[in-house]
Amino acid sequence: SDDYCTDVKPRILLMGLRRSGKSSIQKVVFHKMSPNETLFLESTNKICRDDIANSSFVNFQIWDFPGQIDFFDPTFDYEMIFRGTGALIFVIDAQDDYVEALARLHLTVSRAFKVNKEINFEVFIHKVDGLSDDHKIETQRDVYQRANDDLADAGLEKIHLSFYLTSIYDHSIFEAFSKVVQKLIPQLPTLENLLNIFISNSGIEKAFLFDVVSKIYIATDSIPVDMQTYELCCDMIDVVFDISCIYGLREFGGGSTYDKESVAIIKLNNTTVLYLKEVTKFLGLVCFLREESFERKGLIDYNFHCFRKAIHEIFEVRTTMLRCHKQHRGL
């Protein structure tokens, strides 16, 4: 069944000052907009639930300052929203003066923590494409220092903030989003384990389990991630989807052409092979391997079959448990 996805989807809030880059991040990561087109985006001005809910593994909302969020407005039920949130991403524009942003970050984080101690607080130091390498490191150090000083002054040193340097002009935004999402997946160690077993038995160098719509990878094997490999895999997903949008068969008009039959092989001229296969409605596996290993495609496909089955079982077991749990509570 596919409905497990609605139960286990990580819920993410994207917040930050107006013009910090939230809509751009949303459009580039989830709607394939090219970074240059974001120059003409209209600013977000309402609490905005993204429509990706039905097409991606990830579920998220955007909140904007100033604007709709007023913690002092009694009719604004932020508590309910924070309770259901797994990660709060706070976007700070690194090309701008960030004093006001830090004040908002502090207010938001302390409010959210009061309501829900389990939220992961993730700070995106964003638009760093405009900064030199030295300046990037200096900015990260400064933001880290000031944000944590503010928390310490308020006696809130228990709150842990994670920091990422991001830009929509390279893969850093996808990489950061991937890490944020991975923290929200309770089955991550199991997924990593399965990927390790799969690649070592199949002669594969590296494998990523992707949310194919966003190119966020939700798990990979334990070999360290090389940015170039990750970028190649992302590019492959783009190519495959562009081609299947043009030539793919849409049985009921509209909708996605991504289904159980989806598979793609790209041979690069340096004896590397990229191999993509459908795993679930939202997830795909992209493998990176040598041409020699690909000669044993039968073995790889057999191992993949076992891997895919295991993934389905992991998510299905969890849904069943959730469903029982809900019934138990009369929901």
Asked if 208 and 286 touch (Cβ cutoff 8 Å), the reply is yes
136 touches ligand GDP by CB under 6 A: no
Residue in 197, 194, 237 with CA at minimum distance from that of residue 215: 237
Residue in 218, 139, 145, 217 with CA at minimum distance from that of residue 185: 218
| CB closer to ligand GDP out of 87 and 176 | 176
Residue in 153, 146, 262 with CA at minimum distance from that of residue 210: 262
CA distance 93 to 101: 8
CA distance 76 to 283: 35
Q: With 0-12 CB in 10 A as exposed, 13-18 as middle and 19+ as buried, what is 298? A: exposed
Of 6, 31, 34, 43, which one interacts with ligand GDP (CB under 6 A)? 43
Of 9, 12, 22, 59, which one interacts with ligand GDP (CB under 6 A)? 22
| CB closer to ligand GDP out of 24 and 140 | 24
| CB closer to ligand GDP out of 18 and 318 | 18
Residues that bind ligand GDP (rule: CB under 6 A) add up to a total of 20
Of 104, 127, 215, 308, which one interacts with ligand GDP (CB under 6 A)? 127
246 touches ligand GDP by CB under 6 A: no
How many C-beta atoms lie closer than 10 Å to residue 326's C-beta?
A: 11
Q: Indicate the SS3 state at residue 45.
A: coil
Q: Which stretch binds ligand GDP (CB under 6 A): 124-132, 185-193, 305-313, 322-330?
A: 124-132
Of 7, 96, 129, 205, which one interacts with ligand GDP (CB under 6 A)? 129
Residue in 259, 283, 284, 264 with CA at minimum distance from that of residue 274: 264
| CB closer to ligand GDP out of 41 and 310 | 41
| CB closer to ligand GDP out of 11 and 19 | 19
Q: Which stretch binds ligand GDP (CB under 6 A): 22-30, 136-144, 256-264, 288-296?
A: 22-30
Joined tokens for residue 41:
């985006």
Q: Which residue has the tokens 């959730």?
A: 322
**Beta bridge partner(s), residue 150:** none
* DSSP per-residue letters across 271-316: SEEEEEEE-SSSEEEEEEEEHHHHTTHHHHHHHHHHHHHHHHHHHH
How near is the Cβ of 34 to ligand GDP at its closest, in Å? 11
Of 9, 13, 15, 20, which one interacts with ligand GDP (CB under 6 A)? 20
CA distance 280 to 315: 10
How near is the Cβ of 39 to ligand GDP at its closest, in Å? 4
Q: Which stretch binds ligand GDP (CB under 6 A): 14-22, 82-90, 191-199, 200-208?
A: 14-22
CA distance 326 to 331: 5
Q: Which stretch binds ligand GDP (CB under 6 A): 21-29, 155-163, 267-275, 312-320?
A: 21-29
Of 5, 23, 101, 282, which one interacts with ligand GDP (CB under 6 A)? 23
Q: In what order do the strands lie in the sheet with 263-267?
A: 216-220, 206-211, 283-290, 272-278, 263-267
171 touches ligand GDP by CB under 6 A: no
34 touches ligand GDP by CB under 6 A: no
Enumerate binding residues for ligand GDP (CB under 6 A): 16, 18-24, 38-39, 41, 43-44, 126-127, 129-130, 167-169
